[in-house]
Amino acid sequence: MLLLGRDIMRAHKIHNGDHNAPSAQRLDLGWVVVGEVCIDRIRGPDTVDAIRINLLENGRATHFKPCPNHFQVHEKLETKKTYGDTLVINKYTDDLGCTAFQTTKDDDKQAPSMEDKEFLRLMDKELFKDELGSWMAPLPFCSPRRRIPNNRDHAMSRLTSLRRNLQRKPETTKHFVAFMQKIFRSGHAESAPPLRKGEDCWYLSLFGVYHPQKPGQICVVFDSSAQHQGVSLNDVLLTGPELTTNSLLGVLIRFRKKPIAITADIQQMFHCFLV
């Protein structure tokens, strides 16, 4: 049962009289009369509306006008140029037709975002090793760079709260001080230079956390996600792609490649980068 057209009345009209008699329907826009309304077909319509059928390049028919802008992919490209009376034909070989559907080892990997690419470009350009052998990295500010407010008042409030907490916990105070002394002794922190006029200033608040399996060893966290006036340091910095986490499945499988496996940990690795 295929409905060919709305103008074939006897195929779908209500049988209330002659097959070719018009019928009325009530729609949301009001009443509409469908069919021939001229009595005894004394006169025909002055105009006839028709739908033009276009043919696409693949041979299919369509009622819509084809878009004049389209892409064409060719395995071999020819360009023709006329220089005076000479016709020059250049032929280029394009391997797209042979490589478009090839699978690679990177097909299932997540592609880097525009922010990830900008982060990697910045690190490739400005990351270097100084004369003492330490790696120096820039702060990867987002572009355009957003100005950050001076959060000294917020940092002082956090410091006051931290002092009250440490006064109630002498053992935590001992671990906290030992951790910070190690930071200074290793050269991982230094006195900040005086601020220049119009220069950004941001204070990192601190708090300590314990690992469940290491109750006697505290880890002091530099809280770069703390907000002041709706802005945090993390908000204005590029995070970069996830490059440090290896697949657990791959790690376990590689343990079976050799008879002896060695694991190691770099102590305070992120503190070893100069910023």
pLDDT tens digits, 217-264: 898 999 999 999 999 999 999 988 877 677 788 888 888 888 888 888
Q: Does residue 244 form part of some domain? A: yes
CA dist 260 → 249, 250, 252 (Å) = 18, 16, 13
Rg (CA), the chain: 37
Distance CA 100, CA 97 (A): 6
Q: Does residue 94 form part of some domain? A: no
- The per-residue b/e assignment along 203-232, b for 16 or more CB within 10 angstroms, e otherwise, is bebbebeeeeeeeeebeeeebeebebeeeb
Distance CA 264, CA 262 (A): 7
Q: What number is the average pLDDT over the span 112-124?
A: 91
Distance CA 190, CA 196 (A): 18
Q: Does residue 183 form part of some domain? A: yes
The pTM of this model reads: 0.54
**248 is written with which tokens?**
């657990």
Q: Does residue 31 form part of some domain? A: no
**156 is written with which tokens?**
């002082």
Amino acid at 146: R
Q: Does residue 134 form part of some domain? A: yes
Say if residue 3's pLDDT is above 60: no
Q: Which domain holds residue 143?
A: 114-190+200-272
Total count of domains within the chain: 1
Q: Does residue 220 form part of some domain? A: yes
- The per-residue b/e assignment along 51-62, b for 16 or more CB within 10 angstroms, e otherwise, is eeeeeeeeeeee
Position 22 confidence tier, pLDDT thresholds 50, 70, 90: confident
